């Protein structure tokens, strides 16, 4: 077989030469241009490593474009201060609004009790002596509580918180109700003249 191959190749008169593929060009491993060595012989850093270093060293608190340090932090602090001030303002407004409503209730309750006392005093002259004696203590206590309620509304209500005022009003109202019940029990014993 090799002999036949030599015959064919020598037919044109050209001697058979050994096959030489020529210099083999190796494909570059990296499409990037080969780095050039610096003057000190050290190769420049890999660009991929540089980008990773930049990401790892990124600092949120770096100065902003205008040179103001921590622009985001300052805005966050401003937001936090605003959030803290806003609930305080809302709380104060709510306290004032509730106090206004409660003040009107206290004044109205005092006026009702005062009107009741005046009505009872008008009929006392025609009451039997034993009934007058029976209602005397609750009447005097009711007058004392009424005076205290008026003084509180004038002198202390405005300077007190809604919680304090509400507690006082509830106690005062409960006392009013107890004394009124005692008065009603005594007044029911009065026999009205038959017409």
Q: Which domain holds residue 155?
A: 85-187
Whether 58 is in a domain gets the answer: no
For residue 180, which of 116, 121, 109, 123 has the smallest C-alpha distance?
A: 116
* CATH number of domain containing 96: 1.20.120
Whether 44 is in a domain gets the answer: no
- CB atoms near residue 158 (< 10 Å): 10
- Give CA–CA dist 52/158, Å, rounded: 65
Whether 33 is in a domain gets the answer: no
Q: For the chain (length 195 residues), average pLDDT per consecutive 10?
A: 52 50 53 52 49 44 49 52 63 90 96 95 90 93 96 94 96 96 89 59
List for the chain the helix, strand, coil content (%; round to 5): 65, 0, 35
pLDDT at 161: 93
- In the structure encoding, which two tokens stand for residue 18, read together? 């050994």
Whether 8 is in a domain gets the answer: no
How many structural domains comprise the chain? 1
pLDDT at 62: 47
Whether 125 is in a domain gets the answer: yes
Whether 64 is in a domain gets the answer: no
pLDDT at 189: 82
Whether 68 is in a domain gets the answer: no
Whether 40 is in a domain gets the answer: no
């Amino acid at each position: 077989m090799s002999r036949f191959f030599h015959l064919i190749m020598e037919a044109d008169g050209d001697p058979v030469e050994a096959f030489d593929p020529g210099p083999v060009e190796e494909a570059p491993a990296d499409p990037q241009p080969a780095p050039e060595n610096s003057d000190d012989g050290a190769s420049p850093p890999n660009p991929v490593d540089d980008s990773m270093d930049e990401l790892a060293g990124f600092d949120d608190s770096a100065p902003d474009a205008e040179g103001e340090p921590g622009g985001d932090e300052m805005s966050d602090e401003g937001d936090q201060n605003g959030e803290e001030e806003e609930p305080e303002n809302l709380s104060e407004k709510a306290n004032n609004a509730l106090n206004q409503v409660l003040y009107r209730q206290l004044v109205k309750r005092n006026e009702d009790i005062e009107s009741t006392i005046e009505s009872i005093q008008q009929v006392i002259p025609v009451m039997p002596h034993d009934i007058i004696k029976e209602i005397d203590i609750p009447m005097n206590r009711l007058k004392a509580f009424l005076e205290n309620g008026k003084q509180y509304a004038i002198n202390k209500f405005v300077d007190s918180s809604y919680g304090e005022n509400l507690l006082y009003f509830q106690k005062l109202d409960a006392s009013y109700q107890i004394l009124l019940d005692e008065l009603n029990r005594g007044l029911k014993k009065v026999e009205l003249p038959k017409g």
